[in-house]
Amino acid sequence: MFFKIENEIFNSLNFQYYEYENEILNLYFNGNVSIKIQQNINEFNSFLDLLHENKDIIYVDKIGINIKNISGISKDNENTIFYFVDGSAKNINLKFSEIENKLLGE
């Protein structure tokens, strides 16, 4: 239920998604909580090893989304809007068709 990165502990039940870019790991949680953590690629790969134990996360490139916290998704041009259980919505740079295939197995 909880996972640790460096000196911080996070509740995986509230985890929405992560993005990794330019050696910065951005973690987003319910309640509009976000954390930025500086990580080199080896540290990020260790983080991925930890998350791959969780079958509720879908992975696309350097983005991972917790499907247990998704209320719905919709297409916005080539991006995808994710609606989360806490009432928030995020426009994430992922192709709708790719997410649709992962969620519906098409």
Band of residue 106 on the pLDDT scale cut at 50, 70, 90? low
Please count the structural domains in the chain: 1
Range of the domain at 9: 2-104
DSSP string computed for 13-52: GGEEEEEEETTEEEEEETTTEEEEEE--HHHHHHHHHHHT
- d(CA 88, CA 56) in angstroms, rounded, equals 19
Buried b (16+ CB within 10 A) or exposed e, 63-75: bbbbeebbeebee
- 34-86: pLDDT as tens digits: 999 999 999 999 888 877 777 889 988 899 999 999 999 999 887 899 999 99
DSSP 56: T
- d(CA 49, CA 97) in angstroms, rounded, equals 26
The mean of the pLDDT values for the chain is 90
Q: How far is CA 56 from the centre of its chain?
A: 10
pTM exceeds cut of 0.85: yes
Nearby residues of 56 by Cβ (< 8 Å), 6 or more positions away: 66, 67, 68
CATH number at residue 48: 2.40.50.1020
Contact of 67 with 56, CB cutoff 8 Å: yes
Contact of 1 with 12, CB cutoff 8 Å: yes
